[in-house]
Structure 1
């Protein structure tokens, strides 16, 4: 392939997004290119922030202004020139919307195909494909409107029956004695506020809980009375759970009990849809099957009338199995999938697509995958390429780098030390290049020679959540324990279901952080307090001036640094605030200095820089912990909504590290880490354990397994083939004696 053929390469010239240092390169089209480099080296800025962003912006510009007004606004990335872009499809790890009507089946089109098969082959024949849809009136169960669940309110979470209203019988938030809601109820005249609830007559109890809205005169004021359950449903349950304050959400989670709808048994479908069967099986039973079993069921159907459709459905189900999702079922709600699972479900959608000459962009597609599953994932990436597409992958795992046609290595470091191209070319060239990535390709962590001695253990007994098969296991404390097993083997169910809620257990995961447009590492870690105090002391003014959420905020942009303009016909745009030039504070505040720097200059420092700038005290300690978890390249004022899942997990870990002697639960902490950074993470986990803590890690990375004191391996497969403990012991024992998939891969990894 010759660069002179201008259409054979995507040409990037002068990319400066985030930390990119004027990067120019040519990416071969219809090839598989892997981007490598340490966290923060600029991989995402180049692949997502520049190439994919501009491709999507150009596509959006082809729509009418009216359609564009419904699309997110995309500013042009900071790049001189991008040539020969093709349409980009980004397949990322953003969780799929928690819309309760979306399932794995509806998200992959598998359910749509299954509905057509049932409308043609099901007996008795009950109508077209719509008659089998729980999202359409003709197919949904009329009782639960296709949700499959009905909610009931647990009255004993609302009231204490031993008390009277005057004694505070109502325990719902905002209903305390003398509150307005309480006054309307107590003065309604339907019951005495001095009577204990347990002594209410049947009529009083019904009025108290279930009376529909009624006009009443309460304490001489005309108002509307409604029963407590009616009111709670209206003011709390009609709201989106995400927008609730934490204490209200906790109350709702306690008070509302979801049960399978009695009319459809949780299947979401009408009685007619459930009555139609193929070989004695109805569509709900097909949806509840594990996908690998459903694939067998579909393979056995022989119906020339729908042969092409059955062929497509078989291919789709086989792809789901091949990508390591055979343990899911089509009726699994999309909102319950992990980031890695969600990414793989989206991937399958594209595998079946007949598009070619598209640029597919993947963000660490191996997240959540056991080494056994990574080989299959590689096959899929190659299939997408072989259909004539350009495949761009941001990835750290050597197994994926090995299959690349072309590698782009960014670095050499992170943040201001990154953003440059250290190597581009083929894999053998990378190996010989002497770059950090090249040197680490063959790098192997060694098995721990002498495991630490546990100090007690944490016992899980008879665990049955999801696919766990009555599991009883002891997890040793005071050591580094790694829980592993193929995707779907039950690791998360075991740890999040039975370990996470216990006293003294701290969970640092990759879930999103709320309110993250305004928050940044400085506000979230409590670092801003000592910084504000230092500025206030140095200048003899009050600390509140140095908060962008308080008095010192620029009035034009309210301290965000950007102004969001909503244009009537066009997409809204975010532009840098002209008043403060993005610095977020008033001009007056910026005249106050600390050792020659103003507050906005301090917030613009990287964590590593700031660690030197604050040589002692609380700020130095917090910055030290952030550096320990490998986040030295983040800027103090960087909005949290720009962080990746792995970065979010590490910032939560840094905050929790201040607590004394705890049990830490980490879920794939190597996400987003270069092989060189994994060594740093292992050193950090060692320090935590040596400091008297227990560390339990759910992980697939073989370096972490080799480094563990103790391994709990679940399996042997995923879904109903998993859910059992197949090995517990030291990594050396596993390599010597184990015969699970994990044992085979770890043996190969350590070269035993």
Structure 2
């Protein structure tokens, strides 16, 4: 029926090429396609954006200004939409007060339980909230940790005051605070601090009686280095500048609160018990263990609370997060863990006819854990909702009611509907995804020789059980294991113990003006090229200089602040948003004006603009599979996987000495076809003499590793040990999840082999 479909006509958002599509509602629909093909433009920037915009329009202006902003998509017609909920991979907030318990509401149920049953009785549930003044520990204000000065990092004892012995910013020779110590006649500025007496060092750092006892007493208003640092950096309520935040990171350390021992609560709340357990003890248990404890509570007056808490904990176990504890800070969760937590939040909702848009829900999941995620997606669908999933994993495609492929290529080569139908039909469709499903990458036979070894010794971070392991140098090592097995913890130990460089998926830039042009620094070369070929000054081709539109000053838009209503951005009528004067736009290179250049893709620019400097700067971005990005595209619109590849390109361009690189799940956001490009890039890093360590679950990447380290056997306290070290080809005959997956018994490999038939 027409009213049970989402109908889209002539969608042109980003690279969508007048795409027409009818998406069935109340089904699980998986969208696939190569990286940059336009699937996210269709699902997120068209369907979700229009649904979000229309819903926001139902609110009054004052409220609308405080809701998430949705840009209306370029689409001729769209109907059949329902309210949308986006479950993306962004990590859950950076708030230090946010925990797994608070973000899932499990903590709300747990403190309600304690407010009714605790001995001694403490009071209402807010008395067990570390975010409420009546419940929080007064020492750490509910954070569980205190920040103190790392005094041992303040001084370089081998230097004198004049030589820069005080490492703190602003305290060295020539710094703002330097004269407060060097010019008061109390300290010898030319003698290394190592030769000072203990009393002199005490006076320098802490002042007080030690300073008063010196022969040359400092002024009455003298502040020791520690006191002044803490006053400037730790006792200010203002928003701290990036410089101050950097100083705090370098010269402070956090430790468990001495009063609450990390429980975050005041004495009354943290000592009350239910069945002999304090709320802090229960919060530190793994969720699987906590679930067993909660199920034993058989008191009728709290029956509904126990039922609600049990359901929430069971959902987290089902989704593969049973190894977490409610006390775990959300700031420490991976992108995949954050996404699964968000999914759990919606499982208890009684809302129906919603549209859930989910971005790569299998990110961070071992092949053997994928089924649990699929069950949750099916549960959302079976509750009467539409579930639209952007995904590359064949295991998710196989469970879809319908698969939609956008492509066939990336950028201008994509944006079209190339397949819509059942998964069983996809293998024979001849599309990029169909062809990729029919292939299976063989195990690497010839492994590169290592030229040394980096050893991580006695690692005990998080759940690691005193792990000692060697990472061979000059080759590619894959570090794998089920979610929560300790992979990231071991990678962090490698970074700290061996000074490895992390290439992660964090944004390349938070500035929306940062583009491939600014990132690669080719703007001057582009201006010079236009100037040389048109025999005019280069300044004409700068939007901040002579050639800028005089009306908008080269911005292309005018912005008007409308107070409580949403601000209005209007395209400049004089230049039509092209930022330059007509005289400047008349000058072209290969038929492209300076304003046209930002619309060129990286691949197009390499061939269209005849300049070796420009080509060299862009070549590495093209090599990592980002040739479809447009030169004017804001880097803050890139996905996590794209950001990571931008960083890889930078290392390929700049790295000199042999370096150890640690990459966190680089296949995120990659189509099955694009994994070949990634492997070529990683091989290129190794061929340049570097060592590459990849934290990854993808079986194709594991098969192409020179060395494999598998952690497990399970998550949390059930993991943290090394199950295997060696060549992937030798990892047969074991009963571990990774070995079974590689051998074909795991779900992921079985799905690949059964892709053409649609069954496993």
* TM-score of the alignment, normalized to the shorter chain, above 0.5: yes
d(CA) in 2 for partners of 1:289, 1:153: 31
Q: Counterpart of 1:600?
A: 595
* Residues 1:627 and 2:622 aligned together: yes
* Count of residues paired in the alignment: 736
Q: Counterpart of 2:447?
A: 451
Q: Counterpart of 1:402?
A: 398
Decide which moves more: 102-111 or 538-547: 538-547
d(CA) in 2 for partners of 1:342, 1:354: 22
d(CA) in 2 for partners of 1:65, 1:94: 28
Aligned to 1:650, which of 640, 645, 648?
A: 645
Aligned to 1:263, which of 229, 234, 259?
A: 259
d(CA) in 2 for partners of 1:556, 1:116: 61
d(CA) in 1 for partners of 2:131, 2:186: 42
Pairwise CA distance, 1:548: 5.3
Q: Counterpart of 1:214?
A: none
Decide which moves more: 155-164 or 404-413: 155-164
2:477·2:706 contact (CA, 8 Å) conserved in 1?
A: yes
Which secondary structure state, in structure 2, belongs to the residue aligned with residue 675 of structure 1? Answer: coil
Which secondary structure state, in structure 2, belongs to the residue aligned with residue 657 of structure 1? Answer: helix
Q: TM-score, normalised by structure 2?
A: 0.90
Aligned to 1:345, which of 327, 336, 341?
A: 341
Aligned to 1:640, which of 635, 640, 648?
A: 635
Decide which moves more: 570-579 or 702-711: 570-579
Pairwise CA RMSD: 3.1
Decide which moves more: 301-310 or 32-41: 301-310
Decide which moves more: 286-295 or 692-701: 692-701
Pairwise CA distance, 1:665: 2.1
Pairwise CA distance, 1:700: 0.7
1:647-700 CA deviation, whole Å, 9 max, x = no partner?
A: 001111011112244333221111111111112222333343344333221111
1:154-187 CA deviation, whole Å, 9 max, x = no partner?
A: 2343345787766655432123445444446666
1:67-110 CA deviation, whole Å, 9 max, x = no partner?
A: 12223433322112221211100000111111111111100000
* Residues 1:139 and 2:145 aligned together: no
Which secondary structure state, in structure 1, belongs to the residue aligned with residue 170 of structure 2? Answer: coil
1:72·1:571 contact (CA, 8 Å) conserved in 2?
A: no
Aligned to 2:248, which of 248, 252, 273?
A: 252
560 and 323 in structure 1: CA distance in 2 versus 1, 3 angstrom threshold: farther
Pairwise CA distance, 1:150: 1.1
d(CA) in 2 for partners of 1:241, 1:731: 53
d(CA) in 2 for partners of 1:16, 1:719: 46
The 5 Å alignment of 1:298-313 reads 298-313=294-309
* Residues 1:699 and 2:691 aligned together: no
Q: Counterpart of 1:75?
A: 71
Q: Counterpart of 1:175?
A: 171
Pairwise CA distance, 1:709: 1.9
Q: Which runs of 5+ in 2 are unaligned?
A: 212-217, 754-760
Aligned to 2:486, which of 464, 470, 490?
A: 490
* Residues 1:721 and 2:718 aligned together: yes
Pairwise CA distance, 1:478: 2.2
410 and 710 in structure 1: CA distance in 2 versus 1, 3 angstrom threshold: same
The 5 Å alignment of 1:1-400 reads 5-159=1-155, 168-183=164-179, 198=197, 199-200=199-200, 206-207=206-207, 228-237=225-234, 244-245=241-242, 248-400=244-396
302 and 548 in structure 1: CA distance in 2 versus 1, 3 angstrom threshold: farther
Pairwise CA distance, 1:536: 4.8
2:557·2:569 contact (CA, 8 Å) conserved in 1?
A: yes
d(CA) in 2 for partners of 1:350, 1:445: 37
Q: TM-score, normalised by structure 1?
A: 0.91
Pairwise CA distance, 1:449: 2.2
d(CA) in 1 for partners of 2:178, 2:574: 48
367 and 240 in structure 1: CA distance in 2 versus 1, 3 angstrom threshold: farther
* Residues 1:519 and 2:508 aligned together: no
1:164·1:193 contact (CA, 8 Å) conserved in 2?
A: yes
Which secondary structure state, in structure 2, belongs to the residue aligned with residue 373 of structure 1? Answer: helix
501 and 272 in structure 1: CA distance in 2 versus 1, 3 angstrom threshold: same
81 and 97 in structure 1: CA distance in 2 versus 1, 3 angstrom threshold: same
